[in-house]
Every structure is written in C-alpha cells, then in structure tokens.
Amino acid sequence: MVHRLVVSYGQPADPAAFDAYYRETHTPLALRQPGLVRLTFGHATSLDPAQPAPYLVAELDFDSEQAMGESLSSPEGRAAGKDLANFATGGVTFTHFEVQTASSGR
C-alpha cells in the first residue's frame, strides 16, 4: 500500500523565484531520496474563495511509512529538508497518510 507525504507551501515572498528554485534546484534534490516512488506537484486553487489555498502542493509517494521515514532520514532526505530554508519563505506544512482507494461501485 502506498504511503504519501504531502508538502504544502505557503505564499512565497517572490513567486517567480520560488517556482524557478523549486523546479531547478529543490525537485532534483527531492528526487534523489531513496525509496521515493513518485513525486507530483502543482499550484493549488481553493474552491472556496474565503479559504486560501497553499501556493504549491507536492505529493511524495513511498511503499510504506517505514520507507518514508528511512528516506527522510537518509543523507539525501536531510539535504532536501535543509534546502527548504533557501526558498520556502511562505512556510511549509508536512502531512502524511496511508493511501486508501474508494470505488463508486459502478
């Protein structure tokens, strides 16, 4: 079963600089983490204008919670974590969960 780490980034001081740094520097660092199965990301938009959305949301998939923990504590995972201070000026929130699949039964 897939275990997912969700990283939500707040509004950066300089969105263009954030985007360039995220694509060119941080994503390659994150992709070096051992045990990472998939990394997806995108700019979020709230369906409710009264509730602000994160600026960017990244989802990192691992084979298990243990694999995620080992990856984050690896030298590559620690390097990616330390890199956040270089660009995440709007703050960052981490959540994780075991992915479950629902079916509509159709």
Residue type, 50: A
CB 33 within 8 A of CB 61: no
Tens of pLDDT, residue by residue, the chain (106 residues): 899 999 999 999 999 999 999 999 999 999 999 999 999 999 999 999 999 999 999 999 999 999 999 999 999 999 999 999 999 999 999 999 999 999 887 7
Domain ranges of the chain: 13-45+73-99
pTM for this entry: 0.93
∠ at Cα 30 (27, 34), nearest 5°?
Answer: 145
Whole-number Å distance between alpha carbons of 7 and 104: 28
